[in-house]
Structure 1
Amino acid sequence: MHQPVRRLVQLYAGLALYALSMALLVRSGLGVMPWDVLHQGLARQLGWSLGVVTVVVGALVLLAWVPLRERPGLGTVSNVVVIGVVLDAVLAVLPEPSSLAVRVALVPLGVGLNAVATAAYVGVHLGPGPRDGLMTGLVRRTGRSVRLVRTSIEVVVVVAGWLLGGTLGVGTVLYALAIGPLVHLLLPRLSVRPPAPVS
């Protein structure tokens, strides 16, 4: 497969898988990703679908890039739109499991799939997601460490989302602990760098 085609296929497959992983954690009922605690809380307060809230929050976060002077790419804009649309589509057909064993199994499955999805869409180097760009922009402007900035952002969104009625649970904790090491392991295997410009 030609590299430009592979990059586009991998980008959109990664974003679709990311939405699927979100849906699995939602259906587990045992805790969602940190940003999804906020999305879920807002969805419950506003009466909107989770996908619509995900798109709106992503667009608002993207606006925060302007003073940070971050530059979006195709992957950034696609992230905002595709994940929310696919998330609502998956939730419409994926039933809530009645078995606790199935709900428990959905947690590691969702976290693992999210790691693959993240490495896939980040690995094509077509622009970070809006939330990742917010983090890197703040790191660059404040001079603080990635760990401190990311942790601070996620603590704020989790607390705000929990207060709004989002689901905070074991899935949230497992995701926070596992996603970094998993993506670190998978990213080199899924990285497709653009060809170097001809001088």
Structure 2
Amino acid sequence: MSLIRRVPQLFAGLFLYGASMALMVESSLGGNSWDVFHQGVSQVTGISFGWVVLLTGIPVLLLWIPLRQRPGFGTVANLVVVGFSADIALALLPAGESIPGRVGYVVAGILLNGFATALYIGSRMGPGPRDGLMTGLAARFPRLSVRMIRTGIELTVLGVGFLLGGTVGVGTIAYALAIGPLVQLFLPLLTVRERPDTRRLDMITGK
């Protein structure tokens, strides 16, 4: 498949992922599970939230080694584009004030996050550190569904983040329970089909 489709799909997914994070933040009803974890680590260590996000990506990438995952261009792009797009969206989105508006932000954020995750993973240019952990486990344990693996990861980091003092809200719980089924729904529809000889990309994405 030509890069003409894959590269735009990658960056569209990453930009939309950042926008989905902004929607969750502006709802004030709780962020996603990883951000609860990041917040908890930040409170315990005194390191800023942004640096925690960056630094926790390193040990997550190390977990790729036993799973035989390989970082790709999309892995590096993920570290840069998502934060950039989230900042843009946060600057443009009005703060959620009414309860219906805040709930709407949460619902839109979760749906957009599931779609965006499948969009950039489906480009087969390398998942982000945390999504690579999901695809690596799915490839290593084929009897477990993507939905089960993703939900398990989300609930684990959510629990640790809560114990460390991270803020948990209704949106956090909804995200943790819904993101796995959403990714499993969208991923087959958005995955770029490759020729049989492009095995390296299959290894990157765990397919």
Which bracket does the TM-score occupy, shorter chain normalised? Answer: 0.7 to 0.9
Matches of 1:172 and 1:65 in 2, distance apart? 26
Q: Which amino acid aligns with 1:166?
A: G
Matches of 1:138 and 1:184 in 2, distance apart? 14
Residues 193 and 187 from structure 1, CA distance in 2 versus in 1: closer, same or farther, beyond 3 angstroms? same
Where in structure 2 are the equivalents of 1:159-178 lying within 5 Å? 159-178=159-178
Matches of 2:167 and 2:151 in 1, distance apart? 18
Report how far residue 63 of structure 1 moved. Answer: 2.6
2:150 touches 2:179 (CA, 8 Å); kept in 1?
A: no
2:24 touches 2:31 (CA, 8 Å); kept in 1?
A: yes
Matches of 1:15 and 1:4 in 2, distance apart? 16
Where in structure 2 are the equivalents of 1:54-93 lying within 5 Å? 54-93=53-92
Report how far residue 59 of structure 1 moved. Answer: 3.1
Report how far residue 84 of structure 1 moved. Answer: 2.6
Report how far residue 9 of structure 1 moved. Answer: 0.8
Matches of 2:101 and 2:5 in 1, distance apart? 34
Query: Which residue is equivalent to 1:114?
Result: 113
Matches of 2:136 and 2:115 in 1, distance apart? 24
Deviation string, structure 1 residues 118-162 (Cα, Å, up to 9, x no partner): 121011111222123224445666888456654543333112212
Report how far residue 111 of structure 1 moved. Answer: 0.6
Of 26-35 and 57-66, the range deviating more from structure 2: 57-66
Matches of 1:82 and 1:149 in 2, distance apart? 25
Q: Which amino acid aligns with 2:12?
A: A
Q: CA RMSD in A?
A: 2.9
Normalising by structure 2, report the TM-score. Answer: 0.77
Q: Does 1:193 align with 2:164?
A: no
Report how far residue 107 of structure 1 moved. Answer: 0.7
Deviation string, structure 1 residues 22-72 (Cα, Å, up to 9, x no partner): 11111212122211211233345535244x433332233113323443211
Normalising by structure 1, report the TM-score. Answer: 0.80
Report how far residue 175 of structure 1 moved. Answer: 1.8
Identity %: 53
Residues 142 and 17 from structure 1, CA distance in 2 versus in 1: closer, same or farther, beyond 3 angstroms? closer
Residues 31 and 138 from structure 1, CA distance in 2 versus in 1: closer, same or farther, beyond 3 angstroms? same
Query: Which residue is equivalent to 1:100?
Result: 99
Report how far residue 10 of structure 1 moved. Answer: 0.9
Report how far residue 17 of structure 1 moved. Answer: 0.6
Paired positions, count: 196
1:29 touches 1:167 (CA, 8 Å); kept in 2?
A: no
